[in-house]
Copies of this chain bind each other. A is one copy, B any other.
Amino acid sequence: MKKRPTRTRRKMRTSKTAAVGIDFGGTFVKMGLVDSGGRILERRQFTTSEASDPNSWLERVEDETRVLLRTAEKRGLSVAGVGTGVPGQVDYDRGFVHGLVNVPGWERIDLASLLQRKLGLRVVVDNDANAMAYGEYCYGAGVGLRHAVFVTLGTGVGGGIVIDGRLHRGAYSMAGEIGHVTVDLHGRRSIMGRGGVEQYVGNRKIAERTRRAILRGRRSLISDLVGGNLDRIDPRVIAEAARREDALALEIFDFVADCLAAVFASVTYLIQPEAFVVGGGVSQSGHLLFEPLRRHLKERLHPVFFRRLKVLRARLKTDAGVVGAAALMLHQGLPGR
């Protein structure tokens, strides 16, 4: 599906510019030298547990960045700076990390300043879901859109909102937390409130729901696929069973799709994007998810709202974080950013 280059792309710096993108995940820290066409020219990676406290993280990132900068130099690229996506609460304007969800020691860290001082380069810091959303927006399934909502399915449900070509961060830089949008007034409680969709469609919640059904006596191919060890159930196994038309697996996908549809309907009534772009684990099951998702969305929206709404599959896969983080830097300071 080819599309015309967007305003965003046309506004880009010359092709001689690149940026370093950092995707700070709970398991790996992935880095890349990304050119202004969104291509990753070189990759670096380390295991988060190797250097998870802020000091060793900064040192390791400095080392890897030096490697990427040498590559840039060899290729005659000027490096605009470094973009970083981190798994937690960020004040984007200050590049300040309030705290990270699953990485201890990251409380109130002035990350942009620290990194800037170490590297002598400009640095932007954003939430990882925003970085991924922006990557998809600039170089993936979001190309050509002006208003779009990006959703990443995983242990949690992350989100990023583009309004009028810009990431919408809200009043205090915390918007886009689509995983906590409620689908049930009397629903499951968590520190985030009640009935957030993540409590129903997060990877572990899906597995739990399946396990409970089997333990209640429901027969399913899934039991065979995990050799009777129900702890091995995960979305991939459920997808495998669904592909073979296992009734329970199909029901689980239908339920997940309906929960997402409820949230997408709410979001559409509220801000009316042109499209939802869905990525992450469960989205890789393709039509197993997207068919019931579109069907339920149709039930949950008035026809005039449903008609023009697109539901797209994300394209950048596991590169979205690195590419998006770099894009945040590449597009910084450009008109309208």
Contact = CB atoms under 8 A, between A and B. Distances in A.
Interface of A: 89, 98, 146-147, 159, 161, 163, 168-172, 174-185, 191-196, 258-259, 262, 265-267, 269-274, 299-302, 304-305, 308
Given A98-B304, A170-B273, A185-B259, 11 more contacts: A159-B270, A170-B272, A172-B308, A175-B271, A175-B272, A180-B266, A180-B269, A181-B269, A184-B184, A192-B302, A194-B262
A196 B300 CA distance: 10
Contacts of A272: 169-172, 174-175
A10 to B, nearest CB: 21
B271 A195 contact: no
24 contacts: A89-B304, A159-B270, A168-B271, A170-B272, A171-B308, A172-B272, A172-B308, A175-B272, A177-B269, A177-B270, A178-B270, A180-B269, A181-B266, A181-B269, A181-B270, A182-B183, A182-B265, A183-B185, A184-B184, A185-B258, A193-B300, A193-B301, A195-B262, A271-B271
Contacts of A269: 175, 177-181, 192, 196
Contact of A271 (B147, B258, B270): B270
A256 to B, nearest CB: 12
A44 B304 CA distance: 34
Nearest to A147: B171
B89 A299 contact: no
A192 B147 CA distance: 22
Nearest to A255: B185
A271 B185 CA distance: 19
Contacts of A191: 302
Contact of A163 (B163, B174, B178, B184): B163
A131 to B, nearest CB: 18
Contacts of A98: 304
Contacts of A274: 171
A270 B266 CA distance: 10
Contact of A170 (B147, B175, B178, B184): B147
Contacts of A266: 180-182, 266
Contact of A273 (B146, B171, B305, B308): B171
B270 A270 contact: yes
A9 to B, nearest CB: 20
A182 B300 contact: yes
A303 to B, nearest CB: 9
A112 to B, nearest CB: 20
Contact of A270 (B172, B184, B267, B300): B267
Nearest to A187: B185
Contact of A262 (B185, B258, B299): B185
A274 B169 CA distance: 12
A270 to B, nearest CB: 6
A86 to B, nearest CB: 16
Contacts of A146: 171
